[in-house]
Structure formats: C-alpha cells, structure tokens
Amino acid sequence: MAEPALDIRDLRFAHRGGGFALHVPAYRLGAGEQALLAGGSGRGKSTLLQLVAGLRDVDAGSIEVAGIRMSALAGAARDRARGQRIGMIFQTFNLLQGFSALENVMAALMFGDSPAAAHAARAQELLGSLGIPDPAAPVDRLSVGQQQRVAVARALAARPALVLADEPTASLDPENAVAAMDLIQDACRANGAALLCTSHDPAMRARFTRIDTVDAFVGKVAA
C-alpha cells in the first residue's frame, strides 16, 4: 500500500492574532486523492495549508507528507522537503515577474532531487503539455489563463506527492474558474499528485467526491 500523501495527527495551532485555534485530531489524504477543504473566509483554511507546507510552525502534533514529518524539520531541511514533496498554487499565482515561463518553472526545481542538467527539459515538457507555446515568453506578457498554466506547471515540476491549491479560482470569473479547475485537477491526475484545494465557493463542491470542512477543526483561542 502506498504511503498517504498527507497524514496529520493531533495537530494544534493557536492563531492568537486572529482569535481562532485549529485542532485536527486526524486527517489523511491518500496518494493521488483529491479533496476540497471548504469553509467561509477567515475560518482557517489558508492557515491549515500553510501549516501543511511548513510555512508556519505547529504548536503540537505532527504533519507527514509522503512519509516525511514536515513538522519536525526546520530551516533549509524543511525548505528542501517542501520543494521535493509539495507543490503550491496560489490565488494570485506569485510568479517571478521579469522572468520567463521556463525560468519560473525551473526555479521550482532548485529544491528538487533531479539533476540540474534535466531541469530545462522537465520545465519545457510540462509547459508544452499545459499549452504554453513559447516557454521563453516573460510571464508578465502572458494572459491570465496562461499565467495560471505556468503556475500549475511550477507546482508540478518536482513531481510532488501533494499539491496545495489555496482559493485558486477566487480572482477568476466563472468561465475561467471552470477552465482553471479542469486544468489543475487533470494535471494532478496526470502527474500522480494528490490535491488538497481550499475554497469558500459552493460551486466547487460539485467537482470533488471528497469534501471536508475546516469548521470541524476550528475553535476559539482560550483566554
């Protein structure tokens, strides 16, 4: 049996500035599985994804991604593990402006375990499969839809076990949102990556067979 893409045990985190706390007794996402983490704005969805990615420190408990305990790592070791096992797709793309589509995807491979000589070929392969005809084009000259494709390629570049998509369609109109989610879900399936996607949009529920709610994990910070 394949290791789960994500295994959370007794996670605790208190966001004192925002007044809420997270407690996740157990949460598991299988290899290649896709799940929607639903809930209203400000309920802790993004915070939970940041904890999974190691961008925030847990107060207690453990987070494992493809068998690696992210919550036990720090500094460069955590950055390296994140680069090898986790892909991230943001609402605002967070592409490197002034750099080409190819360079943006290659940047994601710096923390991976593939040899540097193979980075350009991997980036070109992904960009081609996602419909980017000119990998050398600066990202600021691409359409919004093309920028989204570059962001997806970057997230999948290092062949991660888990892709985290944080409100990936929040800034898109309904038609482009449908196309973007088709792209994200299909690309994750094609690359064997599990997907954990957050959204407060009720229309997203029809796209997933597994729907979890962050409200099951959130509470008030104790005084």
Per-residue pLDDT at 83 exceeds 60: yes
85 occurs within a structural domain: yes
Per-residue pLDDT at 222 exceeds 60: no
- The pair of structure tokens assigned to 111 is 């923390």
Mean pLDDT in residue range 122-141: 93
What domain range includes position 135? 31-57+68-213
CA separation for the pair 163, 53 (Å, rounded): 10
Q: State residue 13's pLDDT score.
A: 94
Domain containing residue 185: CATH number: 3.40.50.300
Q: State residue 216's pLDDT score.
A: 87
Per-residue pLDDT at 223 exceeds 70: no
Q: State residue 90's pLDDT score.
A: 86
Number of domains in the chain: 1
120 occurs within a structural domain: yes
In our burial notation (b when 16+ CB lie closer than 10 A, e otherwise), range 90-112 reads: beebebeeeebbbbbbbbbbeeb
2 occurs within a structural domain: no
Mean pLDDT in residue range 38-66: 92
Alpha helices by DSSP H, 54-173 = 75-85, 101-108, 119-129, 144-156
Binning pLDDT at 50, 70 and 90, where does residue 91 land? confident
161 occurs within a structural domain: yes
Mean pLDDT in residue range 109-132: 89
Mean pLDDT in residue range 43-72: 94
Give first-to-last CA distance, the chain, whole Å.
44
Please name which of 83, 81, 20, 69 lies closest in space to residue 46, comparing C-alpha atoms. Answer: 20
pLDDT in tens, 190-221: 999 999 999 888 889 999 999 999 888 887 55
Q: Please, are residues 6 and 194 in contact by the beta-carbon 8 Å criterion?
A: yes
